[in-house]
Amino acid sequence: MTADQLKDIISAGLPCEHIALEGDGRHWYATIVSAEFEGKRAIQRHQRVYATLGSKMHTDEVHALSMKTFTPAEWAAAQPE
């Protein structure tokens, strides 16, 4: 799977303001910004992203996905001025 394919899958199931992906086709690191993360703990945010991938995680198309998840306000605060 390519980064663009993975990005398309995530953004189709989760409205995102920003997605950045790095990886080797099976092991991925993602930074994801979505308003849907408002009021959710980290584990709930990660579960929401995993839900967009569905069977891709179970069939090993995506072997590992590490992520940092932010709300738009958290993302704005984390950016250098």
Residue scoring higher pLDDT (65 or 26): 65
Q: Is the pLDDT of residue 17 over 90?
A: yes
- The mean of the pLDDT values for the chain is 92
Q: Which domain holds residue 68?
A: 3-78
- How many domains is the chain built from? 1
What CATH number has the domain bearing residue 47? 3.30.300.90
Band of pLDDT at residue 57, cut at 50, 70 and 90:
confident
Question: Among the residues of 1-81, which ranges form H helices?
Answer: 3-13, 42-53, 55-58, 72-78
Q: Is the pLDDT of residue 50 over 80?
A: yes
CB atoms within 10 A of CB 52: 17
pTM, two decimal places? 0.90
- As a dihedral over the C-alpha atoms of residue 43, residue 38, residue 7, residue 22, rounded to 10 degrees, the angle is -60
∠ CA(33), CA(74), CA(53), 5° rounding? 25
Band of pLDDT at residue 19, cut at 50, 70 and 90:
very high
